[in-house]
Structure 1
Amino acid sequence: MIIDDGASLAAPVPWYRHLYVQVLAAIALGVALGIFAPATAEAMKPIGDAFIKLVKMIIAPVIFLTIVTGIAGMRDLGAVGRVAAKAFAYFLLMSTFALVLGLIVGNLVRPGVGLNIDPASLDAAKVADYATKAHASTVTGFVMEVIPDTFVSALTAGNILQTLLVAILFGVALALVGDRAAKVQSALEQISIVMFKLVAIIMKLAPLGAFGAMAFTIGKYGIATLANLALLVGTFYATSLLFVLVILGAVARLAGFSILRLISYLKAELLLVLGTSSSESALPSLIEKMERAGCPKTIVGLVVPTGYSFNLDGTNIYMTLAALFIAQALNVDLSVGQQLLLLGVAMLSSKGAAGVTGAGFITLAATLSIIPDLPVAGMALILGVDRFMSECRSLTNFIGNAVATVVVTRWEGRLDRTMFDAALGGTEPPVGDLPQGAVAN
């Protein structure tokens, strides 16, 4: 719903009215303001924060409506379980690839070698809050956190996993009731149409949000901040690009589509994620665009929200690469066994902090705490550039979840190839021309 402004095929949308062009221009303006007027740029933070809050406001109802109407329409509850099992198998496989890639690149490039930092000189107070949150992220605590206090609180607390749980249970109950719940299902489908219209309205403000967030980042931290740790940041971006183009590209090719065409299809959302450093800012749009690309609502509703918590490819690359950087900077020689332990802990901790604000830094703290020779205070070394790396983490996570949705749909044999090819080829009809329910499959 956010590629165009709903113009007809007979009257193409002017280039300057495309959302991705507007977001790109807003990012450029934000960077320029941050460089030339940093104090003013830093004051733009509320604009970016306000937009992200607007998006987060609609995430829970969008997920709830998408999953409930999808499951209720499917009626085959066995298929729902099968989709979930395939999604988690895929998430586990890709997470492993991402973690291993981070380890391999970290050992080959060795970005931290030569810094020779004395552990005693580190300011542990800077990362104390992250370390505290990391220790609080136990498996039991995570499971209990998934269960909401009330049915309504799952839709108001902003916890994606709670919303997911309640939506699945409600959708299953609706499917079991059957025809007697037809009026409830119909009402939810009508509400869903209104909700996605609200998504379209909010997305009109995306350029403002991207401008405010980018201006604040550059104004507060400055591009010069990258100089001292340029090798780490550059290595992380290069590794993430390698993961997307080679690993996800190979997965996409095996599934019968081009990763570059998918990226082009999602360019407006990717620029929004880049500008706001938050993949959540584009979650409602990703759900809708995947449906428009021929993926059934049930699969999209399960894979995308779950992937936002469990399929964090960019975060996984970051954790192993950053951990090795800290070890190298502190002259801590990690054995193969310790690195494998690091990988295993990172696999678990990345799931345990799902839905937690600042999850990338928190999961890194949880991972480092397992290796006695590696002080958590070493995270202070990368605190200054973490904001710049968060953008790459978010972009990689976002692309990974888009690929996961298509792959699981293909595994289920339910991809509408005509809609998919039209979407990726840029020839799908504008939103207003789509028949009602066309994206639900």
Structure 2
Amino acid sequence: MDASVSARRTGPERIAKPWYMTLYIQVLIAIALGIALGVLAPQTGAAMKPLGDAFVALIRMMIAPVIFCTVVHGIATMGDLGRVGRVGLKALLYFEVVSTIALVLGIAVAELLQPGRGFDIDPAKLNAQSISTYVTAAKQDNITAHLLGIIPTSFFDALARGDLLQVLLVAILSGVAISHMGETGERIAGAIDAAGQMFFRIIGIIVRVAPIGAFGAMAFTIGAFGAGALVRLGFLIVTFYLTSAVFILVVLGGIAYLCGFSILRFIVYIKDELLIVLGTSSSETVLPHMIQKMQRLGASKSVVGLVIPTGYSFNLDGTNIYMTLSILFLAQATNTPLSFGQELGIIAVAALTSKGASGVTGAGFITLAATLAIVPDIPIQSLAVLVGIDKFMSECRALTNLIGNGVATVVISRWEGELDAERLKHVLQHPAAEGTAAVAELEAAAE
């Protein structure tokens, strides 16, 4: 069914659907049950981990083919390859500016609130074994290795491994090649578009078990790490969540206002995706959903196909806030003084190390370890302090990253003159109903 028609569709089937069949209600209930189980029966809650892992794995299984089909079809049907480069450059410029604001905000809040003051941590007394895995991964993550890692071993290896940057590379090359193949290319593009529709139908089937995945992931988080971790480092967690909220409402809200839409209405529109991310701590679990929702919102298919996947590697606002805030927290907690020049250096290093850290749980912590390894003044053993609360922090990172990428898509579509302003206005005037309808369409497509 055409999206413009469905966007204006009224009542009967929406009203007739029982409230408990709505995805976001199911996810909310699942999260509440997961928290309750984790608190009342921690061991049982921790044993629910496979449920969350299985859901994330099912979604990640589909990300590479969805991204490949979306990007290839978008580029192949653009016609003007100069426009592809223009959109890509605009996206990267936007990502860099907004990401830098996020990095600076993290440092500014840490200096203002001093969340690490008074901890007086002696790094020599910390359990360095708890961070050995992250440190090992961080040592392997240098700039040269990162750049070479974008190139897959083979064309199909990128799709098999699901590395987003590798998939983007082969998709862009494929799209450019197909665009030069005339009628044959048009037929190939049509076949790829049909394959993409098939993959989205599979996503529609998988999304139905999102509440089970959210329940398992939340029960594991509370059961394994407990409320004690929240209490011990509660001020840092609250500071991070508040800083992210300020970034979303003020920075992203200001950008949204200049582009003619409300950030609050936009958040309500993607509430289903936000709840799934909250439950799973991974923004990748809703990547296919975001592609469809941004198209439904009025952004052009070709811009969405380029901006959303690229943003998952280059526009990680939540991760950037977390990195600079956490680094200064550790400096304060270990009584390590940092000069203004060192703080500028941290921003520069973090701007590089954050690229390519996707929404997968734990990626932000590995990136933090990589940044600390380059800033030797702060003892890397101090990372052990954050191990117990990283799962709680990862949820906020993923939520902020998701909202940031959604806003970026609308902004760049507007810059390109490819934003349907009337549809944007219509959808955001009824964000809850339209957002639920979009998910319902995805589920219905699987039937």
- After TM superposition, the score normalised by the length of structure 2 is 0.93
Residues 226-245 of structure 1 aligned to structure 2 (within 5 Å): 226-245=230-249
1:162 aligns with 2:156: no
Q: Which amino acid aligns with 2:424?
A: F
2:89 corresponds in structure 1 to 85
| Structure 1 partner of 2:69 | 65
Task: Note the C-alpha offset of 1:182.
Answer: 2.2
Structure 2 partner of 1:271:
275
2:140 is the alignment partner of 1:136: yes
The answer on 1:379 being equivalent to 2:389 is no
The CA distance in 1 between the partners of 2:101 and 2:275, in whole Å, is 25
SS of structure 1 residue aligned to 2:267 = helix
For 1:110, the aligned partner's letter is Q
1:23 to 13, 18, 27: 27
Distance (whole Å) between structure 2 residues aligned to residue 71 and residue 421 of structure 1: 27
> Cα gap change, 1:372/1:404 in structure 2, threshold over 3 Å: closer, same or farther?
same
Alignment of 1:11-410 (within 5 A): 11=13, 12=15, 13-351=17-355, 353=357, 358-410=362-414
- Specify the SS of the correspondent of 2:374: coil
Q: Is the 8 A contact 1:134 1:363 kept in 2?
A: yes
- Give yes or no for contact 2:299–2:420 (8 Å, CA) kept in 1: yes
Task: Quote the RMSD (CA, aligned, Å).
Answer: 1.9
**Gap change, CA 1:355 and 1:16, over 3 Å in 2:** closer
Residue 421 of structure 1 and its aligned partner are, at CA, apart by 2.2
Conservation of the 8 A alpha-carbon contact between 2:281 and 2:361: no
Q: Secondary structure at the match of 1:338?
A: helix
Cα 1:202–1:352 change in 2 (3 A) is closer
8 Å contact kept, 1:103–1:321: yes
Distance 2:172 2:209 in 1: 31
| 1:10 lines up with 2:18 in the alignment | no
Q: Which amino acid in the other structure matches residue 207 of structure 1?
A: P
Aligned partner of residue 298 in structure 1, secondary structure: helix
**Does the 8 A contact of 1:127 with 1:379 survive in 2?**
yes
Question: How big is the shift at 1:354?
Answer: 5.2
Greater mean deviation of Cα atoms: 122-131 or 43-52? 122-131
> What letter corresponds to residue 121 of structure 1 in structure 2?
K
- In the TM superposition, what is the alpha-carbon distance from 1:386 to its structure 2 partner? 0.8
Shift of 1:187: 1.4
* Aligned equivalents of 1:214, 1:8: Cα separation in 2: 35
Q: Against the structure 1 CA distance between its residues 45 and 172, is the aligned structure 2 distance closer, same or farther, given a 3 Å change threshold?
A: same
Q: In structure 2, the residue corresponding to 1:205 is in which secondary structure? A: helix
Deviation of 1:199 (Å): 1.1
Give the drift of 1:8: 6.6
Mapped partners of 1:333, 1:62: distance in 2: 47
Q: Is the 8 A contact 1:350 1:363 kept in 2?
A: yes
Q: Are 2:291 and 2:308, in contact at CA under 8 Å, matched by a contact in 1?
A: yes
The 1:182–1:370 alpha-carbon spacing in structure 2 relative to 1, beyond 3 Å, is closer
**Cα pair 1:138 1:352 within 8 Å, conserved:** no
**Separation in structure 2 between the aligned mates of residue 172 and residue 15 of structure 1, nearest angstrom:** 46
Equivalent residues of 2:314, 2:356 under 8 A apart: no
Relative distance call for 1:175 and 1:285 in structure 2 (3 A) is same
Partner-residue secondary structure (3-state), 1:351: coil
Letter in 1 for 2:224: K
Query: Which has the higher mean CA deviation after the structures are superposed, 85-94 or 132-141?
Result: 132-141
Structure 2: 5+ residue stretches without partners? 442-447
Instruction: Indicate if the aligned counterparts of 2:165 and 2:313 stay in contact, CA closer than 8 A.
Output: yes
User: SS state of the match for residue 388, structure 2?
Assistant: coil
Task: Please give the alpha-carbon distance, in whole angstroms, between the structure 1 residues aligned to 2:439 and 2:400.
Answer: 31
Find the aligned partners of 2:438 and 2:409 in 1 and give their Cα distance: 21
Moved more, 182-191 or 371-380: 182-191
Q: SS of the residue aligned with 1:218? A: helix
Q: For residue 119 of structure 1, report the CA deviation from its aligned partner.
A: 2.1
TM-score by length of 1: 0.94
Q: Per-residue deviation at 1:112?
A: 0.6
Q: Assess if the C-alpha contact under 8 Å between 2:281 and 2:394 holds in 1.
A: yes
The answer to whether the 8 A contact 1:159-1:355 is kept is: no
Shift of 1:121: 1.0
The structure with the largest helix share of the pair is 2
How far off its partner does 1:57 sit? 0.6
Which consecutive unaligned segments of at least 5 residues does structure 1 have? Answer: 435-441
